[in-house]
Chains A and B, each alone.
Chain A
Amino acid sequence: AQSVAQPEDQVNVAEGNPLTVKCTYSVSGNPYLFWYVQYPNRGLQFLLKYITGDNLVKGSYGFEAEFNKSQTSFHLKKPSALVSDSALYFCAVRPPPTGRLYFGRGTQLTVWP
């Protein structure tokens, strides 16, 4: 069975500090990996994805994610958090060869001033 785990329901960081939102997965094959962000009363917005190549992927709004094949992880990172980064973050995986996405349960990120 395909599964995606976001082990932390909430992550709290101070503005200016680095942030990490964790994601691990259990799927067959070599999946494509995604991060989405959801602001209140909005749909999901694409942040970044990993398909192949460099393990460090850079995305929108200064976010990046590190792929670790041996640990089956795809953690989202940002060197310096902003209050405006406060939102709900979802990790998703797409096992080959389907077009289906499997989502984690989401991590609420709060950045305080």
Chain B
Amino acid sequence: DADVTQTPRNRITKTGKRIMLECSQTKGHDRMYWYRQDPGLGLRLIYYSFDVKDINKGEISDGYSVSRQAQAKFSLSLESAIPNQTALYFCATSYRAADTQYFGPGTRLTVL
């Protein structure tokens, strides 16, 4: 969905480095999510935010942190990257809990 953008699209980094992935949306949605995709495992939820003051852990939050700088921006940080964090990362947004989630194009992260 072009209304949900992610930067960078590709990133190669080394073990121990701090990395930030950014997500912006122009859909006016209040809810934002971060997922990671690994081959054969589907998508797993890392963190989600229902508004600027509401941040919640997902099923695989260890090693990650997030920041909701504004309604339209939701960043994911890896404080000290490790190789098993190599994956495809997706941001998603929705208007309400019952609504469809719309996904960004993804960030392919490689940790050497």
Interface on A for B, CB 8 Å cutoff?
4, 9, 32, 34, 36, 42-46, 49, 51, 90, 94, 97-101, 103-106
Contacts and interface: CB of A to CB of B under 8 A. Distances in A.
Nearest to B43: A103
B104 A43 contact: yes
Interface of B: 1, 4, 31, 33, 40-45, 48, 50, 58, 90, 92, 94, 96-98, 100-106
Which of A44, A100, A105 has most B Cβ within 10 Å?
Answer: A44
Contacts of B31: 99
Contacts of A45: 1, 103
Nearest to B56: A100
Which of A4, A9, A105 has most B Cβ within 10 Å?
Answer: A105
Nearest to B31: A99
A101 B41 CA distance: 14
Nearest to A9: B40
Nearest to B96: A99
Contacts of B103: 36, 43-45
A103 B36 CA distance: 11
B43 A90 contact: yes
3 A-B pairs with least C-beta separation? A99-B97, A43-B103, A103-B42
A36 B43 CA distance: 11
23 contacts: A9-B40, A43-B103, A43-B104, A44-B43, A44-B92, A46-B102, A49-B100, A90-B42, A94-B97, A98-B97, A99-B31, A99-B48, A99-B96, A99-B98, A100-B45, A100-B48, A101-B43, A101-B45, A103-B43, A105-B40, A105-B41, A106-B40, A106-B42
A46 B101 CA distance: 8
Contacts of A51: 98
Contacts of B41: 105
